[in-house]
Amino acid sequence: MLIRGRDVAMIFADIRLPGAMDGIDLAREVRLRWPFLPVILTSGHPRDDQLPPGVDFMPKPWQLLNLLVAAKQALACL
């Protein structure tokens, strides 16, 4: 992202990520550094964390068409 950030149009990530940073942490960092970059988080588990402002959520299982619609809506808000 720091080197080729212009090539990224949207972030779509699971809330549960391996490593030190989970999807919520990733969304917060993206919102701080690139406030206009759309972020959609997904999970198959109940959501108990508050999402950062401007971050959308799609529960699993999701259909590809629903993801494409959500991506189009997120990109239209730019």
Instruction: Evaluate whether 10 touches 41 at the Cβ level (below 8 Å).
Output: no
For 26, the 3-state DSSP assignment is: helix
**52/37 Cα distance (integer angstroms):** 13
Q: What is the pLDDT of residues 10-66, one digit of tens each?
A: 999 999 999 999 999 999 999 999 998 999 999 998 777 789 998 999 999 999 999
Residue 71 pLDDT: 85
Which option is the CATH number for 5-76: 3.40.50.2000, 3.40.50.1820, 3.40.50.2300, 1.10.10.10?
Answer: 3.40.50.2300
Residues in Cβ contact with 54 at an 8 Å cutoff, skipping those fewer than 6 apart? 31, 35, 39
Instruction: Evaluate whether 13 touches 23 at the Cβ level (below 8 Å).
Output: yes
